[in-house]
Structure 1
Amino acid sequence: MTDISRRFMIGRRQFLLASGAALAMPYVHRAYAEDEIVIANLHPVTGFVALDGKIATAGCKTAVDEINEAGGIKSLGKKLKLITGDTQGKNDVASVETQRVIQAGAVGIVGSYLSSTTRITTQVAEQNKTPHVADEGVADEIMQRGFKYTFRIAPSSSNLGLLSAQNMALLMKSAGLSQMSVAYMHEDSAFGSSVGRTFPEAAKENGMEVRTVLSYAATSTDLSVETSKLLATGADVIAASTYYGDGLLIAKLVQQRKPEIKAFVGVGSAAYANPTFPKDMGAGAEGYFNNIMHWNPASPELPALLERFAKFSEGLALTHQGAYAYTAVQVLADAIERAGSADKETIREALTKTDLTDHILPQGPIVFDETGQNKNAGIVMLQIQNATPTVVLPEQYAQAKPIFPTKFG
C-alpha cells in the first residue's frame, strides 16, 4: 500500500469501532411535530475548524429560516426542522453523530465541510439509505465509491486544482507575463492531499514552473521550517492549500520575512478569502489571492441573504462555508418539494433530477451527474483589496481588477 492510499483509507479499526458505537446506541426516534420535516446539519462547531463549522451551521439555519418563512415545503404543507450534529472535525465522532441524527428522524443530511469527515458521514448515510448533500468536502475519492445517496455541491479536488491553475494563468496574462514560477505547500489531510495531487500538474499545464511541493500537518503550531524552504526556492509566487489557523500562521511567517515575491495565492484555502483574515493580519493581508468556492457577487438574492445570515452568525461574516451550506439546504429542500414526500428513497430520486437555477453560486444550473457530482461547480479568485475579499477573476464575476504583482518586500 502506498503512503497516499494509506492516507486516504479510513482506518478499518477506527471506522468499525465508531460505527459499532453508533449502531449500539439505543434507537431513539424523537417525536417531532406532524407538520415538520427533519433534516440534519453535520458540521464541526467545536474543534480545530470550529470557525468554519459555525459559519456553515449559520448558513444552514439561514436557509431553513428563509424556506419556512416562505411557507416551508408547500407540496406537503410542512415546515423544515433542522437538527445539528457536531463532528468536531473527527472521523469517529462524525460517524456517531451521523447515526444519531438519522436515528432522530432526519430524512436528509447536509455537511460536513472537511473531506475526511465527509468520507465518513456519507458512508454512514449510504448504509442507512439517507440522502446526503455534501456542501464541500472536495476530495475526489468521496464521489468515486459508487454511492447512490451522496450529492456534492462543491467542485472535486481535481477540478479545484485545475480551475485554480487556470485562474493563475489569467492572472499571469493580465500582467503581460509569459512565464511564472510557483512554490506550493498543502496541509496533509484528505482535503490538502487531494488538491496537492492535482494542482502542481495543472499549474505546469498552464505554463507555470513548479519549483517545489511541500506538505505539513494542519494542526502544526510551528511552520517556520516549511515556510523557509518554500521561500528559499526564489519562486515568483507562493501558493498554499490551508485551513484557517495554519493559513494565518504561514501568512504571518511570510510577513516577517518580507520576501520579494509577486504574489501569495491560496488554492482552496479557508484563510485568504475569510473576512477575519484582514483583521488578524492587519495591513499585511493586502494583496493576498485565493482560489475558492464563493457566491456570485452580482446575485440579486445576496443583499437579503446577508441580512438574514446576520441573524444566525453571531457576528461572523458569510464565507464560502456558509454560502455552500446554505445552498446545500436549498438543494435538499428543492428535492423534498419536488418529491412531494418525506420518503428518503423518493427524495433521493428527486435529487438525481435536480436542475436548480435559482441559487447564489458563480456557476450555471446545479445539476448532478451519475456519481452525484455537481457538473457545473465553479470557483472564483478573490484578492484582499482595502481589507475586503474581492472577486477579481473570472471576469464575468469580477468586482475589481486584480492588483498584480503584489509587493511583499
Structure 2
Amino acid sequence: MRKTWIAALACALSFGLAACGGSAPSGATDDAPAGGVSPEGTIKIGSLHPLSGAAAADGQQMDNGAKLAVETINAAGGIAALGGAKLELLSADTQGKPEVGQSEAQRLVQEGAVGLVGTYQSAVTANVSSVAERNKVPLVIDVSTADSILEQGYKYTFRVQPSSSVLGAQAAKYLSEVSTAANTPAKTVAILHEQGPFGSGIRDSFTAQAQELGMTVGPVIAYDAASVPDLTTQMTQVKAADVDVLVVTGYYRDGVLAAQAVQTVQPGVDAVFGVANGAFDLPQFPAEVGQAGEGFFDANYHADMTKPAMQELASRYEQQYGDAIRTGAVLSYDAVQVIAQALEKAGAADPTAVRDAIASGEVDTLLASGGPIAFDDTGENRNAIPILMQVQGGAVRQVHPDSFAEAAPLYPGQPAPAAR
C-alpha cells in the first residue's frame, strides 16, 4: 500500500523528467571519482548541511527534504535518460563550520558525487562553492543568501533562493506597502541582526532600500548567533531608540530569543518585522514561543502552501518524520530536483554536462515564486522572490502580496506602543 501511495505522489510531485531510452549510461566509469554512475548503478548526489550544532534542527530538515526528493524520483523510475539509474544521497554534517563544510565537500566529490546541494550558513557555502568550482562539480545552493558567494564569477554554483540583495530590498518595500496601507507608515526602523555574512548582507540591502523609501534606519545592532545567551540587552537598546519598527535577521534559536526579549522588554514598536528570519515564518515558532510571537512578520522565501503539490509534500513529510516541514526542506527538495532534471537533459552522469544543463534549464518549484527555477549568467534564480508572512492566531499565514495571500496583514502587528 505504501509503495502505491509513494508512486502516486511521485507523479504529482515529479518535475517532468523525460522518458528516454534505456541504453547503457553515458559517462559511467568503474570508480567514478569525479561523478558518474557507480558500480552499483546509482548516481550520487551530496547533501551538506549542519546535522549537529546550533542549527541542527534546520540542517536535519533540509537533509530530509533532499532524501524525499531522491525517494520521489526513484519511485517514479529513476533517471530515464540513464536507463532508469537510481539516485543515491550522500549526507554530510558540516557542523555549521566553514572548514568542516569544505573538507566534507571534498570528500563527497572524491566519493563520486555528480552534484552537491547545501549548505544553510553562508560562510560554509562560501567554502563549499570554492570546492565545487575547483573540482568542476555543480553546487545548487538551497539556503545561503550572501551576495558575495556568487560574486566570485563561479560557473559551477547556482542559488535557488533569493539573494541578500533581493530579500532585503523587497522586504523594505513590503514594510512600506503594508504600513502605508494601514495609515501607519513606518518612518523609523531599528535593525537587530546576526553578525555573519548572512545578517550583514540583509542589513545592507534593507537599509539602502528603506532609506530610498524615506525611512530612517538606526540603531543597527549585531550579535553572534552561535553564542548569544539572550537578547534582552539589545532589546533594551531598541526600546531606548523609540522607533516604529524592529527588523530582525537571524537563525531559529536567536529568533526565539528575540521573541522572548520582546515579551520581556516591551520595546513599544508597531511591528517586529523579520527579514529572511530563520524562525518567524516556521510552524514550530508560534508553538514554541506562544503569545510572545503573535503578530510577528517575516519577509522571506517560503513554500507556497496554496499549491496542492506543496500541501501533499508537507503531509508526506509530517507522516514520515513526525514534524511540520520547514521551507528549508522544500528548498533542498527543489535543489535535488534541479540536479535530477539536469541529468535527464544531459543524458550523462558527468558533472560538467550536468552543470551546463542546470544553467540552461527550467524546473518547476514548490516555492512562492515569480516563475520556474531558471538561472541567470551569475547563477542566481531569476524568478526567486520573498513573500510576507505573519503569525496570526498562533499560525503562520501568507499575507502579502495579494497573489500569494492566505489572509490580510494585520498592522500594527504588535500591541499599541506606550505613550511617547
Q: Provide the TM-score with structure 2 as the length reference.
A: 0.87
Match of 2:55 among 43, 46, 49: 49
Paired with 1:349 and 1:306, the residues of 2 have a C-alpha distance of 31
Matched residue, 1:22: none
Secondary structure, in 3 states, of the residue corresponding to 2:308? coil
Q: How far off is 1:321 after superposition?
A: 0.8
Paired with 1:41 and 1:170, the residues of 2 have a C-alpha distance of 38
Matched residue, 1:198: 205
Paired with 2:247 and 2:136, the residues of 1 have a C-alpha distance of 40
AA of the residue aligned to 1:94: G
Secondary structure, in 3 states, of the residue corresponding to 2:43? strand
Paired with 1:82 and 1:37, the residues of 2 have a C-alpha distance of 8
Q: How far off is 1:178 after superposition?
A: 4.2
Secondary structure, in 3 states, of the residue corresponding to 1:40? strand
Matched residue, 1:375: 382
Matched residue, 2:291: 283
Cα offsets for 1:100-157 (capped at 9, x unmatched):
1111111000001110100011111111110110012110000010111101111111
Matched residue, 1:115: 122
Paired with 1:189 and 1:364, the residues of 2 have a C-alpha distance of 30
Q: Does residue 69 in structure 1 map to residue 75 in structure 2?
A: yes
Q: Does the CA contact (< 8 Å) of 2:184 and 2:412 recur in 1?
A: no
Cα offsets for 1:260-299 (capped at 9, x unmatched):
2211010111011111111221122211111111012221
Matched residue, 2:136: 129
Paired with 2:217 and 2:58, the residues of 1 have a C-alpha distance of 30
AA of the residue aligned to 2:175: M
Paired with 1:330 and 1:28, the residues of 2 have a C-alpha distance of 20
Give the unaligned 5+ runs of structure 2: 1-32
Secondary structure, in 3 states, of the residue corresponding to 2:80? coil
Q: How far off is 1:310 after superposition?
A: 2.4
User: Aligned pair in 2 of structure 1 residues 28, 131: CA closer, same or farther (>3 Å)?
Assistant: closer
Match of 1:264 among 272, 284, 300: 272
Report the aligned-residue RMSD.
1.8
Secondary structure, in 3 states, of the residue corresponding to 1:295? coil
User: Aligned pair in 2 of structure 1 residues 372, 336: CA closer, same or farther (>3 Å)?
Assistant: same
Q: Does the CA contact (< 8 Å) of 2:303 and 2:366 recur in 1?
A: no
Aligned pairs for 1:92-111 within 5 A = 92-111=99-118
Secondary structure, in 3 states, of the residue corresponding to 1:75? helix
Aligned pairs for 1:339-354 within 5 A = 339-354=346-361
Matched residue, 1:7: none
Q: Does the CA contact (< 8 Å) of 1:155 and 1:374 recur in 2?
A: yes
Aligned pairs for 1:6-405 within 5 A = 32-76=38-82, 77-219=84-226, 220-312=228-320, 314-357=321-364, 359-405=366-412
Q: Does the CA contact (< 8 Å) of 1:338 and 1:350 recur in 2?
A: yes
Q: Does the CA contact (< 8 Å) of 2:94 and 2:100 recur in 1?
A: yes
Matched residue, 1:6: none
Q: Does the CA contact (< 8 Å) of 2:232 and 2:264 recur in 1?
A: no
Paired with 2:192 and 2:323, the residues of 1 have a C-alpha distance of 28
Paired with 1:351 and 1:213, the residues of 2 have a C-alpha distance of 39
User: Aligned pair in 2 of structure 1 residues 28, 170: CA closer, same or farther (>3 Å)?
Assistant: closer
Paired with 2:323 and 2:168, the residues of 1 have a C-alpha distance of 28
Q: How far off is 1:315 after superposition?
A: 2.5
Q: Does the CA contact (< 8 Å) of 2:295 and 2:391 recur in 1?
A: yes
Q: How far off is 1:53 after superposition?
A: 0.4
Paired with 1:216 and 1:283, the residues of 2 have a C-alpha distance of 24
Q: Does the CA contact (< 8 Å) of 1:363 and 1:377 recur in 2?
A: yes
AA of the residue aligned to 1:44: P
Q: How far off is 1:311 after superposition?
A: 4.6
Q: How far off is 1:216 after superposition?
A: 1.1
Q: Which piece of structure 1 moves more, 128-137 or 206-215?
A: 206-215
Percent identical: 39
Q: How far off is 1:177 after superposition?
A: 3.0
AA of the residue aligned to 1:278: P
AA of the residue aligned to 2:311: P
Q: Does the CA contact (< 8 Å) of 1:258 and 1:408 recur in 2?
A: no
Paired with 2:63 and 2:261, the residues of 1 have a C-alpha distance of 31
AA of the residue aligned to 1:401: A
Q: How far off is 1:171 after superposition?
A: 1.1
Q: Which piece of structure 1 moves more, 29-38 or 346-355?
A: 29-38
Q: Does the CA contact (< 8 Å) of 2:255 and 2:277 recur in 1?
A: yes
Give the unaligned 5+ runs of structure 1: 1-26
Q: Which piece of structure 1 moves more, 122-131 or 359-368?
A: 359-368
Paired with 1:88 and 1:362, the residues of 2 have a C-alpha distance of 30
AA of the residue aligned to 1:261: V
Paired with 1:121 and 1:200, the residues of 2 have a C-alpha distance of 29
Paired with 1:177 and 1:48, the residues of 2 have a C-alpha distance of 37
Q: Does the CA contact (< 8 Å) of 1:179 and 1:207 recur in 2?
A: no
AA of the residue aligned to 1:111: G
User: Aligned pair in 2 of structure 1 residues 28, 145: CA closer, same or farther (>3 Å)?
Assistant: closer
User: Aligned pair in 2 of structure 1 residues 260, 178: CA closer, same or farther (>3 Å)?
Assistant: closer
Matched residue, 1:11: none
Cα offsets for 1:71-128 (capped at 9, x unmatched):
1111112111111010010011101110111111110000011101000111111111
